[in-house]
Structure 1
Amino acid sequence: MDLKIRLLLLKFIIVFVSAKVNGHTLLQTYPKDITLLLGTNTSFELTLNGHNESSAKVFIFSEHEDILKLDPPYVSLDGWENHTWTIYVNGLNPGLTEIDVNVTDADIDTTQAFVRVTVQHSDVLVIISQVVGWVYFVAWSVSFYPQVFINWKRKSVVGLNFDFLSFNILGFLLYAVFNCGLYFIPYIETEYEERYPRGLNPVLLNDVFFSCHAVFATAITITQCFIYERGNQKISLTAKGILGIFGLVLLTMAILSGVNVLHWLDFLYACSYIKLTITLIKYVPQAYMNYVRKSTEGWSIGNIFCDFTGGTLSMLQMILNGYNYDDWVSIFGDPTKFGLGLFSVLFDFVFFIQHYVFYRNNEPYSELDGSNQPEAPTVC
């Protein structure tokens, strides 16, 4: 056979196979996300793109059959070409689920045929949850400034623990790196989509704003430590050791990501895990320092009021959403976020008791100097 004819035949086969896979056997759904009230109906479209010669059946099902009723539960292709079916959805019980499809013809591409569905009790609860979310967002954002104000008013940072500040700046910096990486860097967004093809990017614009603002506000407080009276306060050896371990972990993860042993997404997750760890330990040095000094002078209780408000409302929002979507598993099945909020609120109670009960109106027994600077306890 002539070489040119062989090349033309090979080209024809490649074009035919490509068209078969990419253009003629693709099932898609629109929209990808739908929300409906309990007991109501909505619909989505199931579309066959391109030419089809099979009489395959497409079975449409929900991961949680008790949440939804689908009508029809299946369709027959029967040689349809560029055809769209309307699938009706009835909300039976509140919850979160995903609609998927199974096709009897393995050549049909179904990777884009899925719908994320939320069935909720009430639209009013959604609005209340959103309002609560914005209130705790504002409370947490404002919480940095009572300490800045009291430092400025006293022209002193004596009583503000430097270990707490060092943990805080690193924690919020890592949180900002995580949020900005997932929100602004297309390469990392692509990594996330490839790893979780049906997941939604967990980072929103308000997450980016809050974390970057937290770094800025904490940096202001640290700057005050250099210009106002601070006695002989310094970062303890314990805190330096913990920060060194965190730095070593981050450096190792960065190197492994840089040489393509790990993905940069894994590096961002390492940043988020260290941030969670810091949230668990960062209040310990300040509470211990207050105990040693038998005073809360220099430590702003306004910061704690704002933090308590934010943490309480954050947990309230999770409870409201848990009821509205019957999604208690996200709280108690994976307790990280709820547990961290609860832990922060419990520490706020410790500070309230120190400030208003144990050390109310107490002056510190002695100013901090090199001989009585309390070392932070080992907190890891």
Structure 2
Amino acid sequence: MFSLFKNYIYLLFIIYTLKSCFASNLNDLKSKYTLKTSVSDIAIEINEKTSFTLNISPSPTEIIELKISCEDPLTPSDYNNNKSNCYTINGFKIAYYIKPNEKTIDIEIKGAEPGKTTLIINTNINGTNVKDAFVRISVARHKSIDTIGVVIGWIYFLAWSVSFYPQMWINFRRKSVVGLNFDFLGLNITGFLFYTFFNVCLFFSSEIKDEFNERYPRSVLPVELNDVVFAIHAVFATSIVIIQCFIFERQTQTISIYIKTFLGIVWIVFAILAIIVPTTHWFNWLTYLYCFSYVKLAITIIKYIPQAWYNYKRQSTIGWSIENILLDFTGGSLSLLQMFLLAYNYNDWLTIFKNFTKFGLGMISILFDVLFIVQHYVLYRNAIESESTGLTSGINTSTSDLASIDTIETNG
């Protein structure tokens, strides 16, 4: 039964893909001319000049007028506008003319002020395919700030990647996972699995990429290779910790009924949606993937709450890796620093507020990190643990008391 269902899904995938390909090819055949820029992205500084080439095919048999704008002149009324509305760049003409038999034309631009814009090219010839006649242009105050941003990006990428391993080491050293909340683990593995589905499918699936380009023309794909690598690594590392929970001492710890119910509902809903997607037009695979990302965001908001409450009930952070938190705090802080640097470099402060979800989630994660740091170094710094059992006593003990106890190990 399952095999028949799987074959049915594969068949629907093939039909949908072929239909999309044929539709795209028919659209190209209907086009009299096709305009395409030699590059899709250009990064320059203020007062820096550069150029790109516009290609036209087939060779025109008539004079073709081109209009350049930083808005979207896809309707006839917009095409007749004599303003380019380009404020971050200049140095180009609003109108260009391609003579018969000319296949290319070079267009020069110059950075005017910091910002980001999309230069769009249109023509007066009806039926011309101009969907690839655009260039995304970034004008920076200083390219050196971009370099600093890249370095910061790699540092927080490494910090977040390494942050998974201190918890593994503590579990292995103690031969116990007591102190690590299982609700947190259940939420964490689900969040990272959903994050992996989103990144892998959007990065590798040509069908979903086509859906993205159709919905968001001239936009940059929001997933890069490092996002895919990080997501897969996060699932791997979290899975190792879960395996440790089956091997080492865990007392009576288990996932709470509330989290089991929540995760069960989430997985069932997504399984049902996977069946619905191939049979509808209003709900496609891209929308399905974005649902994964929304759930991941929601999990990121709530996943630390069970661990913080667990620490409070035990009056201890023993068994919970503070190194993990310090690395996560480092990565989150550098991520926000990079965001502000780029906003300054491109005078693009609105991006922070337009992408408030990312900014807000970063702040929430940092606030939880601060809470865990306070719990570990201030509130429960004197919690003790028995070496013989590796279990937390849940008692706060003064420094003088610690000196009189032989079988004490502090979590440091």
What TM-score comes out, normalization by structure 1 length?
A: 0.87
**Counterpart position of 1:113:** 133
For 1:293, which of 310, 314, 317 is the aligned residue?
A: 314
Q: Does 1:266 align with 2:287?
A: yes
Q: Does 1:49 align with 2:65?
A: no
Instruction: Say which is worse superposed, 190-199 or 88-97, in terms of deviation.
Output: 190-199
Q: Does 1:284 align with 2:305?
A: yes
Instruction: Say which is worse superposed, 45-54 or 127-136, in terms of deviation.
Output: 45-54
SS in 1 for 2:254: coil
For residues 68 and 27 of structure 2, the distance between their equivalents in structure 1, rounded to whole angstroms, comes to 27
Give the conservation status (yes or no) of the 8 Å contact 2:183–2:255: yes
**Counterpart position of 2:185:** 165
Alpha-carbon distance, 1:366 to partner: 5.1
Alpha-carbon distance, 1:46 to partner: 2.3
**Counterpart position of 1:207:** 227
For residues 109 and 232 of structure 1, the distance between their equivalents in structure 2, rounded to whole angstroms, comes to 65
Alpha-carbon distance, 1:19 to partner: 9.9
Give the conservation status (yes or no) of the 8 Å contact 1:61–1:101: yes
For residues 21 and 62 of structure 1, the distance between their equivalents in structure 2, rounded to whole angstroms, comes to 26
**Counterpart position of 1:59:** 67
Q: Does 1:232 align with 2:252?
A: yes
For residues 241 and 117 of structure 2, the distance between their equivalents in structure 1, rounded to whole angstroms, comes to 45
1:27-53 per-residue CA deviation (whole Å, 9 max, x = no partner) reads: 222222111111111111223322434
**Counterpart position of 1:88:** 108
**Counterpart position of 1:39:** 47
Q: Percent identity?
A: 46
Alpha-carbon distance, 1:120 to partner: 0.7
What TM-score comes out, normalization by structure 2 length?
A: 0.80
Give the conservation status (yes or no) of the 8 Å contact 1:48–1:81: no
**Counterpart position of 1:242:** 262
Instruction: Say which is worse superposed, 256-265 or 211-220, in terms of deviation.
Output: 256-265
1:191-234 per-residue CA deviation (whole Å, 9 max, x = no partner) reads: 22333332222211111111111111101111111111101011
- Long gaps (5+) in structure 2: 1-25, 72-84, 385-391, 396-412
Aligned length: 349
Alpha-carbon distance, 1:113 to partner: 1.2
For residues 193 and 334 of structure 2, the distance between their equivalents in structure 1, rounded to whole angstroms, comes to 24
Q: Say if 1:71 and 1:366 are closer, same or farther in 2 by CA, change over 3 A.
A: closer
Alpha-carbon distance, 1:332 to partner: 1.4
For residues 240 and 193 of structure 1, the distance between their equivalents in structure 2, rounded to whole angstroms, comes to 37
**Counterpart position of 2:242:** 222
Structure 2: which amino acid aligns with 1:30?
Answer: S
For residues 108 and 215 of structure 1, the distance between their equivalents in structure 2, rounded to whole angstroms, comes to 46
Q: Say if 1:138 and 1:51 are closer, same or farther in 2 by CA, change over 3 A.
A: closer
SS in 1 for 2:51: strand
1:323-342 per-residue CA deviation (whole Å, 9 max, x = no partner) reads: 11112122112211111111
